[in-house]
Structure 1
Amino acid sequence: MPPFELLRGEDRRMAEEQIRSAFVYAYPLYAFAATRFAAVQNPANADRYPPNSLRHNRHLSDHASVWITAPNNDTLYSNAWLDLSSGPVRIRVGAMPEGRYWSLAFMDAFTNHFAVVGQRLEGTGPVDLCVVGPGDADQADGARVLQAPGHDAWLFCRCLVDGPDDLARSHAMQDKIEILSGAGEVSGARIVPASPVSPENFLDVVNELLARNPVPAGERQMLEQWRSVGLRPGGPGAWNEIGSDIREAWTRTIGSIYADLGKAGQQGRQDFKGWMAAAADIGNFGDNYPLRASVALGGLGALEPVEAMYFVKYQDESRAPLDGQSRYLLKVPASGIPTDSFWSFTMYEATADGKRFLVENPIGRYSIGNRTPGLVYNADGSLDIALQRQPPDDPQLRANWLPTPAGAFQIALRTYVPRPDLRAGEATLPVVIPVQA
């Protein structure tokens, strides 16, 4: 990239290319800041909670859970926003029940996971953890050190729940996760993320986070090149440090750049035998900055494939869109779905604006999985799940009924601790067969 003096004399295309690459690189920092602000700082949020403290979600998602798109009906969430600027944070996980999924995922400000602790690696536990920022590894006092790349992190916990009757056991699992020390006074981010399409606010927010969360060594030269368009670690004021032509280029292009972020996520999806899955580098993106930004736009916290894989089905086997005016059989092979923990199918109503919500239905069933009681399997061990609006007449299919909405829908397949053949795309996946009227 040319230095600032030359860039100011170049045509619009050169400035816009540099602004686009800087925005795509830095947008996950902005999404991180905005999500954290909403949870811990926003005065309009009566349920906000301080950094370095856990907040448990004690309720199962249902059709009324419209505050988030594609809610999970398999696990209860707990989370904490960690501020390591005053020192390490100590976390203890007590012994968990045998055979029940749990995980603690630690995500940095760039939205990469730097550690995942849970059933996959620890079994039942217990485990003592010390999350440390840059230069603090010598303060662990015998606990396992989790080295955070910067001073800001998000802890997101998942504990298995097997329906409403299982909530008490899931709550007991959540209560075994404790933050023992909160590192005293914190000096968190001060700039309010007001709008990602305000160039001045965008630069102020991400520059503050860059000062608290250093970029990897291999990306420092790239960051230095973006200084000419205002991206640099430090406090507010970058907007006034760049020339009027660069400010004009930011104002002219930031809206279209932001609108284009979602396209990278669509392009990064993989077709797994008729099911769409996220790209293999989700959760730890490496240098795939467009995918990282696109995922951050859709929502933070997607796990790496070694921990969980998510698949979505939009069409039946004839490539016709799934619609509640029709009936279908979701056929799970006798070999099952290869995971070392559990799997489930969740039914979502598909809205015109691309959001997905759980479907209100008379039996209160929003998902079916290998832990669902009362399912009736075929003699060969396979499973037929009825996807339709009204209850099936056949008693076996009625036991295996996953109700659909009246219109367009999608099915999400969640697999926790998927086995290598599933991650490699070699496993046999279920098919959706239309049933003739």
Structure 2
Amino acid sequence: MRLLAGTTGPGSADRPDAVTVAGRALSTEALLGAALAVAGDVRGAAAVAVDATPSLETVVAVVGGLLAGAAVVPVPSDAGPAERDHILRDSGAELVLGPGATPVDVTRRGGGTLPAPAPGDAALIMYTSGTTGAPKGVVHTHGSLEAGVDAVAEAWDWTAGDRLVHGLPLFHVHGLVLGVLGALRAGSPLVHTAKPHPERYAAAGGTLYFGVPTVWSRICAQPSAARALSRARLLVSGSAALPVPVFERLYALTGHRPVERYGMTETLITISSRADGPRRPGHVGFPVQGVQTRVDAEDGGIGELWVRGPMLLRGYVHQPADLVDGWFRTGDIARKDPDGWHRIVGRASTDLIKSGGYRIGAGEVEDALLAHPAVREAAVIGTPHADLGEAVTAYVVVSAGVGEHELQDFVARHLSVHKRPRVVHLVDALPRNAMGKVQKKRLGGPML
């Protein structure tokens, strides 16, 4: 099939280490043979679920399902019983591949040829985080996946000569679509470190590294591991905004200004910095190949981001995509600079704070807080306020003794006074999901 052209297409090289996960490797030929064996088992099924653990079995199961023409449903490895049951029922998965279900044997080999799915056929059903209700199944086609991975490959000069390293979950766009399918389509070897530990990244010898801000922050905390990445070609950060201090620290240690990019489950990657261009801290760059963007800006140039392009979802399970003339409302708040650079401020529901008639982006205040040498983590939200409408409220993890008033004054010296936090909570940790994103809906809950 076309999505895996770099691995299965005519003339593709048989690499002995096409995919390595947690130290176990499969050659190109072995991967294809094992995937064809799975394809033979599931052929005819409309949808097949895969327990997405960080393993060779997951890679083989996903590739096998795609080769068979089934819609593959990655089930998060940390899903609780209720979430797992919802995903399986809602997606209509006819079979579950993975531990405790139908096991995948990577030593089996299948053969023969299978008809290539049509570009409009469903390829993946990926479930959103469900922050506003039960998770929704996002349906991506073979065509949208191809467009998505080809666009980032063009932006990042990603070729078969690269060696990709990451340790991200295999049930999200970042880890699965980019981190597995992207590597297979490019024909570049993939090293998955099982977990994104700094020392494992340092030892992997990659040219291309993927990470989320938490990963890069932890790598910066181990300078020897960070310096080992100086031999790489490109470091890519995504899934959440990379704090400016982490960007600058990573550059100081590795000599690399990381590429930042923006995407969603529904859209794949639509905006990115480029391998052959500058990178600007706190910004995600420009639309990738085939993408148009617009920002419905009001005062301050901040507004909701809309995107249009060939990598958008086909729809949701049981309902069509809510597109307006092909445009998708992301629900994210952005600023588009006069020179075309995009900066993501945050989610409309949690990161656009309307206080005293001002529109304040939470990300800008978070960056200001993170510039304080004692601040390790920061999350900012708006909370109800009788006079202002919403008050800028910060939750901060500090590494040394620092008081609420000192942090408020620090922000006021760096930003407009009206942007300073009215309330600062000093906490031990911030609630995060598997991709390292802060779960702002939980701020103020029992964990604090």
Q: Normalising by the residue count of structure 1, what TM-score does the alignment of the two structures yield?
A: 0.26
The structure showing larger relative contact order (alpha-carbon pairs under 8 Å, at least 6 residues apart) is: 1
Q: Normalising by the residue count of structure 2, what TM-score does the alignment of the two structures yield?
A: 0.26
Q: Indicate the structure (1 or 2) with the bigger Cα radius of gyration.
A: 1
